Chains A and B, each alone.
Chain A
Amino acid sequence: MVRTGSASLTELEKHTELSRDQVLWALHGLEDKGFVKLHYKEERRIILTAEGKKYAESGLPESRLLQRISKSEVKTASLSSNEDKIGLQWLMRKRLAQVDNGALKITSTGESALKKEFPEERLLRAIGKDDHGKLASEHREELDTLKRRGLLDIENVTEFEKAEITQKGKEASKNSSENTDEIGSIDREMIAKMGWKGRKFSEYDVSAKVDREFAAKRHVLKQTIDRIKDVYMSMGFKEISGPTIDSAFWVFDSLFVPQDHPARDKQDTFFLENPKDMEIEEKDYAKRIKEEHERSWKYDWDIDKARQSVLRTHTTSVSARFVQEAVAKIVSEESDEALPLKAFSLGRLFRNENIDYRHLADFYQHDGVIIGKDLTMANLFDTLIKIYAKLGIKIKFKPSYFPFVEPAAEFYGYSDVTDEWVELGGSGIMRSEVTGIARSKISVLAWGAGVERVLLMSKDNGIKSIAELYNNGIGFARNMRSV
């Protein structure tokens, strides 16, 4: 640096064989003494959001929609997905298409746009290749539009550019041989031979900025799952689990969901091709369920529909199995556990829904049951209020409907993050048709609720959607804070 008068960070790293942090640290110290002057530059850094990254790969919704219109007729009524709706909105705004008789027609502007790449798309791709796309101010307008659409963020970053040696620094450098008495880093030999005695330690700049170390950590969602499990345990619940791949019998029939219920629609539930069916081992129980369904819902119950393999659409199937076994034991006085008997499960469930960067087809639910005598809605509310209080969430209840509980209550949690009531789950007293025993003898409280919500609501992690939790680039993990 003495020779050239100034040097960049990379040059200094190379010459001193020190790490970036060490060099910066040393430079800050030199600046304090007035030996060097540090130069910074400001630049606009453009970073794509998750949505932006997606469009950089797949193209903007409007450009894809325009392509589709150019190939075949598209009715506006058929545009139901979120992306299609965004596409439609921008096609109209940019006047690339118009609606004619419920169908989309390309305008002349649209025809010419079709021939070349959309300018915003080109820009997105250019940024996509380089996260720190230093795209200059000539694209300011397009960049602003993309920013408003939430596809990118523009940050002003101050970055270290170079260090310049001052006159004082040059002089100090000449005298540096006189300064050797100040100790820089200490080493093994110095410690052993007490070489530091009578000498001065050079001062370091303790306020200099360093990059943080990345802790290896457990996933935030797993940490949340642990928290929930520990809360249940602290309240005397024992953990239970059950199959992820199950028969429709345990997921639906045992919970009094009639076989023609919309929840069993092909659209909502993943039915399996392999294995297609499952045996229902509990023959007597199945017979009772058949009778309950036929008596209450007035249709012919079909065991083949019950044998279909599905990916569970809730973890209440685990509760259903537990209740069936536990009630049988209590009735035959084989149970060695005192009432009320409390159990919980926590596991993944599946919904056959369109996935995108915000929606997933699998996520977690926790499910609880309490089996006892004369259990009331007041007991149910108390239990749920306490569970959520321990998770830092205030809840309230509202009437609702689930086929297997009566009365049924939906519960909502207050989110400090978004300042609103968010639906958390459903609960109620299990119908006797499900438990197989009159409520005057044994009653069962049951509930199920989302797990990811607890994480999203309890602290502002900057996580806006459940899907983000499963977007496991290591960058995501490194930026997560403790829950």
Chain B
Amino acid sequence: MPVVKINKRYFNSLLKLRMSDEQLKDQISKLGLEIESMSKDEIEIELSPSRPDLLDPVGIARALRYFMHKSDKFHYTLDNKKPEMTITVSSSVKNVRPFIAGMVVKGIKLDETSLQQLMSFTDKFCDTFGRKRKKIAIGIHNLDSIESMDLSYTLAKDEKFTALNSEGHESFSSILKTNKKGIGYGEVIEYGKSGYPVLRDSKGVLALIPIINSERTKVTKSTKNLFVDVTGNSEYAIGKSIDMLAAMFMDIGAAVYPVVTSYGSSRKIYPVMESGYISIALEDIWKSLGVRFDYRAAISLANKMGYEAASVGKRIRFSLPEYRIDIMNEQDIIEDMAIAYGYDYIQPIGLPSYNAGLLESTTLKNRNLESIMTGMGFTQVMNSYLTNPSANYEKMEVMKARDEAVTIANSVNSSISMLRTWLLPSLMGNLSKSQHEKMPQRLFELDMAFSVNASKKATEEYRIAAVVSDPKANLNDIKAVLEELMYMNRVKYTVSKCSHGSFIEGRCGEIKADGKSVGFFGEIHPKVLNNFSIDEPVSAFEINIQNLGIY
């Protein structure tokens, strides 16, 4: 989950409340955010991925003020409804990145801290909710450096412009290859094929969407007025995002003016600042939380979470804040009511049990097999299911069966590329780690192994394998164990000679039960022992429990 670093002085100037560090920590935690660390100058907060409006200090301060009943301004509306600018969208962007929304922000007062927090917030927002800019990207420009009130959003050929924080002209294709943002976000769009999406004014390129703005419209701490654009592939998401941004700018004392997006025949005006209502029966809230409260209390709880609310008949009508992107239906609001009530105050209520508890037969059978094995002096080990061909095959001197292994496409670890197909390699690994320990060593594992069957389906089976390592370990030691294990489980089996790369030729037996091959046992070949740096002889067996018919 993302972590945001907030300058404490700046945060307090937004919060406008006197609180001790402890109180602040407590309230933020009750709101569902986690304070990672707090120093004299800085607060580090782990954010909730569900609430984009809480990704920045302005939003967190707003939510905290509601939470402590210090604010009753529940709605955000535009004072000036007259659009300031128009963005004309060319049909050429339709299959690349179709949607854009803009707004004008006037009279903003920035300093080093608030500018840095604003930039880090838009980055966080675009990385998380914006899915690394794929879904949403935000561009912030100095309005006073834009030359015309009419902008166009269109596909362009490979042109040159001076990108933010660069010197001199550079072509789009080169920016994608050399600029840090170009490298970082270049994969969001398939560039080059049909052209590059750009935002322009009468003078030239304002931004290569969604990578980087122009140096010309760079925002500094002396910037007074802004133009903000939001682009993406979901009309719903860009509309909600710009509403959220508008609320944020209003909170820091700026005035927001709408901008028209013109898609040929249709026109949209952003920010929409739409509110909407959801009404929920009070009883339904009680039924989810397991606590009861009256209408007045319900309204007060709603206010704590920033909802304006009223009781209408037996229902509570919640009016949705313009900056909330995450609310889908009443379930989301019920969660907010639970948070407002406080999880600590919900008194646990017991549930009856009418059905008997029951364990799966595999669990019971496996426990039984394990107790037989420990009774014979074998200690249980548990190993990772993940392995690689070297450990699973090569070190065991066996060949990989074609397409038998469940393989992984994208492991970040070079030592992990497949699931183990059998257990013995894991046990050999355990023995190789135990060479300085006292002999004899008797180990077993009972767990899963995986393979792909003839009809190309993944199969998972419980297996049991055991090893004896001892200066005098031989075939009979392990066969005696096998004999007892089968006796205890009423399994009749036969043994035939088999040839297996891991075992000494002529000292390996294949185990068959009910006509099916269920496993093998024998003395491990010294070559394999060498591969694992094991100094003493080892005898071993491995059985597929699923094939024994005992579950």
A residues engaging B (CB < 8 A)?
131, 214, 216-219, 221-222, 226, 229, 232-241, 243-245, 260, 262, 266-267, 270-276, 278, 296, 298-299, 309, 311, 337-342, 348, 350, 352-355, 360-362, 370, 372, 374-379, 381-383, 385-386, 396-401, 406-409, 429, 431-432, 439-440, 443, 469-475, 477-478
Contacts and interface: CB of A to CB of B under 8 A. Distances in A.
Nearest to A350: B386
Interface stretch (B13-21, B78-86, B210-218, B347-355): B347-355
B310 interface: no
B290 interface: yes
Given A131-B436, A352-B411, A407-B335, A341 B380 contact: no
12 contacts: A216-B377, A238-B358, A241-B362, A275-B458, A338-B355, A341-B355, A376-B349, A377-B289, A401-B49, A407-B335, A474-B443, A477-B379
Contacts of A222: 370, 380, 382
B334 interface: yes
B480 interface: no
A274 B290 contact: no
Contacts of A219: 380-382
Interface in B206-265: 234, 236-237
B452 interface: yes
Contacts, number: 255
B430 A337 contact: no
Nearest to B331: A406
Interface of B: 29-32, 34, 48-51, 128, 131, 134-135, 234, 236-237, 284, 287-291, 328-329, 331-332, 334-335, 338-339, 343-344, 346-360, 362-363, 367, 370-371, 373-386, 403, 405-413, 415-416, 419, 430-431, 433-434, 436-438, 441-443, 448, 450, 452, 456-458, 460
B380 A376 contact: no
Contact of A229 (B51, B335, B363): B363
A382 B351 contact: yes
A354 B413 contact: yes
Contacts of B431: 474
Nearest to A353: B412
A273 B409 contact: yes
Contacts of B343: 377, 381, 397-399, 409
Q: Which of A262, A398, A472, A478 has the most CB of B within 10 A?
A: A472
A296 B326 CA distance: 10
Contacts of A243: 458, 460
Contacts of A240: 360
Nearest to A372: B351
A217 B377 CA distance: 8
A478 B17 CA distance: 58
A217 B379 contact: yes
Nearest to A344: B357
A266 B460 contact: no
Given A362-B384, A408-B335, A472-B381, A382 B412 contact: no
Given A275-B456, A406-B332, A473-B437, A355 B382 contact: no
A82 to B, nearest CB: 14
B413 A361 contact: yes
A244 B385 contact: yes
Contacts of B430: 472-474
Contacts of A469: 382
A217 B442 CA distance: 11
B386 A296 contact: no
Contacts of B289: 376-378, 407
Given A273-B407, A274-B406, A348 B385 contact: yes
Nearest to A477: B379
B15 to A, nearest CB: 20
A112 B93 CA distance: 58
A293 to B, nearest CB: 11
Given A275-B406, A379-B290, A400 B413 contact: no
Given A238-B357, A240-B360, A471 B380 contact: no
Given A350-B386, A407-B338, A409-B343, A340 B407 contact: no
Contacts of A362: 384-386
Nearest to B375: A216
Nearest to B351: A379
Contacts of A386: 350
Given A275-B456, A342-B355, A352 B410 contact: yes
Contacts of A342: 353, 355
Nearest to B415: A355
Nearest to B350: A382
A289 to B, nearest CB: 15
A337 B335 contact: no
A243 B350 CA distance: 32
A170 to B, nearest CB: 36
Nearest to A352: B412
B144 to A, nearest CB: 34
Enumerate the 3 nearest inter-chain pairs by beta-carbon distance, A residue then B residue, closest first: A378-B290, A376-B290, A236-B353
Contacts of B355: 236, 238, 337-338, 341-342
A271 B359 contact: no
A407 B379 contact: no
Nearest to B135: A260
Contact of B339 (A273, A353, A399, A470): A399
A216 B374 contact: yes
Contacts of B438: 214
Contacts of B332: 406
Contacts of A233: 357-359
Given A407-B334, A472-B382, A475-B434, A275 B349 contact: no
A407 to B, nearest CB: 4
Contact of A239 (B339, B359, B408): B359
B457 A275 contact: yes
Given A341-B355, A398-B343, A270 B411 contact: yes
Contact of A377 (B50, B338, B359, B416): B338
B378 A216 contact: yes
A83 B347 CA distance: 46
Given A396-B344, A399-B32, A221 B382 contact: yes
Given A354-B413, A473-B430, A431 B331 contact: yes
Contact of B131 (A244, A262, A399): A262
Nearest to A345: B360
Nearest to B377: A216
A440 B437 CA distance: 61
